[in-house]
Amino acid sequence: MAWFEDAASCDYFGVNLSPSLRAVGWLEKGKPFTSGPMDRRVYDKLEELQKGFLQARWRWVLRNFFYGYHHCGFCFWSNQAKGVTNLFIPGPGFIFVAPELILHYMDAHAYLPPPEFCQAVLACPPVPSTAYLEAVAANGGGVLLAPGN
């Protein structure tokens, strides 16, 4: 998986989308990350958002970009967690994008996402909902919703 510093512009999905996206939770062995006690409310809400996204019939509308499985570089191979999807969380004027492994990183490796991301997660409308799509569009994510991108 690619590594991005938390809250940095994310060009993983293409340079044209990078101004709208801020990376969170793109961890890699050997790179520093913030650790600390998990905020259970944030973890539970992220888990709820991920389940909603996977169940959403319109998920094809949001460019989810499946580039193959990503494996946790911190776990031993036999127990290695893996993920394939990405979570798009509306932030203030942009979209946070996190790999689904963020839940594993928080739980197994004490990863502590930045406070502004945690606030955005807690404020995020349910997925699937019109309010979620409107929040994505209103915070710079219109390009993610546009057909043909």
Q: Would residue 7 count as lying in a domain?
A: no
Let me know: does 3 contact 82? Beta carbons within 8 Å. no
Q: Would residue 54 count as lying in a domain?
A: yes
Task: Indicate the number of domains in the chain.
Answer: 1
Q: Report the alpha-carbon distance of residue 139 to residue 149 in Å, rounded.
A: 18
Q: Would residue 10 count as lying in a domain?
A: no
* Domain ranges, residue 35: 18-144
Would you give the DSSP letter of residue 140?
I
pLDDT tens by residue, the chain, 149 residues: 689 999 999 998 888 888 999 999 999 999 999 999 999 999 999 999 999 887 775 554 555 555 567 788 888 765 678 887 889 999 999 999 999 899 999 999 999 999 999 999 999 999 888 999 899 999 988 777 765 44
Report pLDDT for 149.
Answer: 45
Report pLDDT for 94.
Answer: 95
